[in-house]
Amino acid sequence: MSIWRESAGFAVVGTVGFMVDAGVVSLLAALGSGPWLARLVSFTAAVITTWQLNRRYTFKNRQLRHTEKRSFGGYVAACLVGGGLNLGTYALLVSQLPLFAHYLFLAVAAGSIAGMGANFLLARYWVFGGHHARH
C-alpha cells in the first residue's frame, strides 16, 4: 500500500481517535473530573482504539515484525512520543489561554494535530514497518 493510502487511512483512524479522545475528556469534565485526569483517561482510550483500527485497516497488509503483544508495546511507545507533543500542546493551551480551558475539545484538537505526524511516521516505519504481506 502506498504511503498516501496509508496516510489517508491513518488520518481517518486518527479522526476516530480524536472523537474518542474529545468525547471522553468532555464527558469526564462534565461529570466533575479535572482536566488532567480526564485527559489521561481519554488519551488512553484513544490509543487503544487507534491501535486496533490501524492494525486491522491502515496497516493490515504489513506483516508485523514482532508478536502482537510486543507490537502493541511499540505502538504505545510511539504514541508516547506523539503524545508528548499532543499533551504538551494541550497543557500549554489549557494553562495559558482561558478559551482552551473552557473549551477543552479545542485543546484536544490542537494537541492531536501536533502529535499526528510523529505518530504516523513511527507507526509506519517502526511499529508496522514489516514487509507487505503477499496475497
- What pLDDT, on the 0 to 100 scale, is given for residue 83? 83
132 forms beta bridges with 62
First-to-last alpha carbon distance for the chain, in angstroms, is 12
Altogether, the residues listed in the chain come to a count of 135
3-class DSSP state of 65: coil
Measured in whole angstroms, the distance separating CA 29 from the mean position of its chain's CA atoms is 20
How would residue 126 be classed by pLDDT, with cut points 50, 70 and 90?
confident
Q: What is the pLDDT of residue 135?
A: 46
Distance separating alpha carbons of residues 131 and 108, to the nearest angstrom: 34
Check whether 127 has a pLDDT greater than 60: yes
Rounded to an integer, what distance in angstroms lies between the CA atom of residue 106 and that of residue 122? 25
